[in-house]
Amino acid sequence: MERFISPAPVVRLEKAFTDPFKNLVATAQTCYSGTGIVTTDKITEGYERLARSIYKAGHHTTLQHAHFQFTLNNVSRQFVWSFLHSHPFYNSEQVSQRYVAVTPGNFAIPPLRGEALAIYEKTITLQMQAYSRLCERLFPIVKKEYLKRFKSTSSKNYNLLQLDLPISRSAKKMDKEVMKKAQEVARYVIPVSAFTYLYHTVNALTLFRYYRLCNQYDAPLEQRIVIGKMVEEVLRAEPLYKAILEEPLDMEAMPEHQFFASHLQVLGPRIQKRFLKEFDASLGGRISRLIDYKQNNEATVAQSVREVLGLPSSRYRDKRRLSDYQALRLVLDPSQNSLYGETLNVATLSKLARALSHASYTFRKKISHTADSQDQRHRMTPATRPCLHRHITDEPDYITPELIRQDRKVEKFYQGTMEQTWEGINRLRALGVSDELAMYLLPNAVAIRFTESGDLLNLRHKYAMRLCYNAQEEIWRASLDEVKQIREVNPIIGKYLLPPCTLRDMADVLPVCPEGERFCGIKVWRLSLKGYKRII
C-alpha cells in the first residue's frame, strides 16, 4: 500500500469493551432465553458459528453494544470531514482550529515526487504565510469590533462576569480572545490537509462498516491507512472478530465510481461548471434556502400534542379543548415547557417534545468546508454531501467570511491567496496528479454545496446551539437564514427557534447566559430576530 510522505497516522485503542465478541453472542441468546439474562461467562463452546450465523442474517444490533474509543493523531481535516464525521453513529472530540493556532509542518503530504511534490509543498508554505499574515492584519479589525461589544471598559466587562482581574491581566486576556477570533477567520486559507488530533468512539458495527467502505471517495488512501490501523487495534484486543470481519470493497464496487466510469465522456469541466452555476442560482442569493417542508407542519405537531395528552380535536368548543396555537406553545414555548431551560437536551426523551419530530424542513445550502465540518456534527440533520472532486473546477470557488469583507486590502490579499492556491492545484492536475491527492491543497474556504433535511425536534436543538453569538460566524449566519425562512412558512413554530440565552430567559432560568466568562458581550435575549447582527 502507498504511504504518505508526512508522519504516519497514529492510532491507539484507548478504551475497549470487555469480551465484545462473547457479548455479541450473549445478547443474541438472551433474546431467546427462558431462564433470564445470558452472561458472557456462560458462553463456552460453538459460539463462533452462532456469531457468523447472526452476522450473515443481518441481526447486527448485537454488534452495537461493544464500543471502542480511539485516539487519532496525524490525520487530515479532509479525512475527518469526508469520512469520520459523515454519518450519525460516532462521537468525536477534536482540536479546534478556531482556538488553537495552526503551526507549520503539520500537514498530510501525499505520495508525490519531483515537481509535483515541490508544487504541493510550495503551495502549503504560501497558505501558511497567508494564515500568519491574516492573523496579524485581522487583529486590529477584530479588536475594534470586540471593543464595540464591551463598551463599558477597555476590555471585557468582567464586572458583569463577576471576575476581579488587574487591568494589565484583563488587557492580556482580551488580546488573547481577540487573537482567537482573528485565527477563526484566518484559518479559511489553511488547506484541508492540515493535521488534527481527536478522540473518536464508535461501536463495533460502525467500525465494521468503516472497514467495508474505506475505499470510497474522497480520501480512499488515507481512509485505508487509518481505518486499517483502527481494525488492527481492535483485533489485537479481540482476535475473535476475525470470524465475521469482511474485507474492504474495492473502489470499483462503489456505485459512484461505477457511474463515473460509465459516463466518463459526458462528465467534463463544462458539465461541472454548469452544475455549479445552476446550484448557486437556485439559492436566490441565500446561504441556505428552504426548498421543501411538510404542508401541515404546525397542524400535525399540534394534533400530536393532543394525542400525547389524550385530548379531543380542537374543533370541540368547550373548556377542555386545546387549540393548535395552545398546543404549539405548550410544546415549544419555554415559559410553558420548562424543559428548554435544562442544561441537557432532554427533549429527545420527552413524550410531549417528540411531537416535534413530525415537522420537517429541507434546505439547499452552500457553505465553506470549515463551516460544514461544524454543521455535520449535528448528526440528526443529515445531508447529501458531494463527491468533492466533481465540484472542483480550475476556477477558485470559495467562501469569504464577513470579517474579511470589512477591509478591502485584506479582502484583496485573501482573494490573491485563493487564486494562488487554485494555481497550485491546477498545476498538480496538469502533471497527472489524481484529484484525490490534489484536493488536499483545497483551502478550508472551499465551497461545499449540498441539501440537508431535519425534523423540528433536532433542528430546534441545532438552532439553539448555532444562533448563539459564540458559534462560528458562518454557521451562525446560515442558521439565521434558515430560521427566518421557517418563520415565514410556520410563524408559530419559528417564533420559538432561538438561542440558548433567550430560551433560558423565557424559561426564567438564571444565569440567562450559560457561557459564564465566555459571555459574548451582547444581551441577545433582549433582541428581536431582526436585530441579530455580528461581524465577529
Edge-to-edge strands of the sheet including 91-94? Answer: 10-16, 67-76, 195-203, 91-94
The label of the residue with cell 420559538 reads: 496
Query: HEC states along 426-453?
Result: HHHHHCCCCHHHHHHHCECCEEEEEEEE
DSSP 8-class letter at 81: I
Using CA atoms, how far residue 253 sits from 210, 256, 389, 496, in Å, is 15, 9, 18, 46
Per-residue pLDDT tens listing for the chain (536 residues): 789 999 999 999 999 999 999 999 999 999 988 999 999 998 888 889 999 999 999 999 999 999 999 999 999 999 999 999 999 999 999 998 888 888 888 999 999 999 999 999 999 999 999 999 999 999 999 999 999 888 744 434 433 333 344 445 577 888 999 999 999 999 999 999 999 999 999 999 999 999 999 999 999 999 999 999 999 999 999 999 999 999 999 999 999 999 999 998 778 899 999 999 999 999 999 999 999 999 999 999 999 999 999 998 866 566 668 999 999 999 999 999 999 999 899 999 999 999 999 999 999 999 999 999 999 999 999 999 999 999 999 999 999 999 999 999 999 999 999 999 999 999 999 999 999 999 999 999 999 999 999 999 999 999 999 999 999 999 999 999 999 999 999 999 999 999 999 999 999 999 999 999 889 999 999 999 999 999 99
* Pairing outcome for strands 288-293 and 195-203: unpaired
d(CA 496, CA 335): 11
The grid coordinates of residue 334 equal 419555554
pLDDT of residue 45: 83
Using CA atoms, how far residue 483 sits from 116, 222, 295, 351, in Å, is 46, 37, 17, 24
Contact residues for 448 (Cβ-Cβ < 8 A; gap 6+): 366, 367, 368, 369, 372, 385, 386, 388, 391
State which fold the 10-103+194-259 domain adopts.
Answer: Gyrase A; domain 2 (3.30.1360)
C-alpha torsion sign, points 449, 402, 147, 97 = positive
pLDDT of residue 166: 45
Question: Where are the CATH 3.30.1360.170 domain residues in the chain?
Answer: 10-103+194-259
End-to-end CA separation in angstroms for the chain: 45
d(CA 218, CA 438): 11
> Would you call 536 exposed, middle or buried from its count of C-beta atoms within 10 A (0-12, 13-18, 19+)?
buried
Residue 444 · residue 189 · CB < 8 Å: yes
> Would you call 315 exposed, middle or buried from its count of C-beta atoms within 10 A (0-12, 13-18, 19+)?
exposed
pLDDT of residue 316: 59
d(CA 25, CA 7): 39
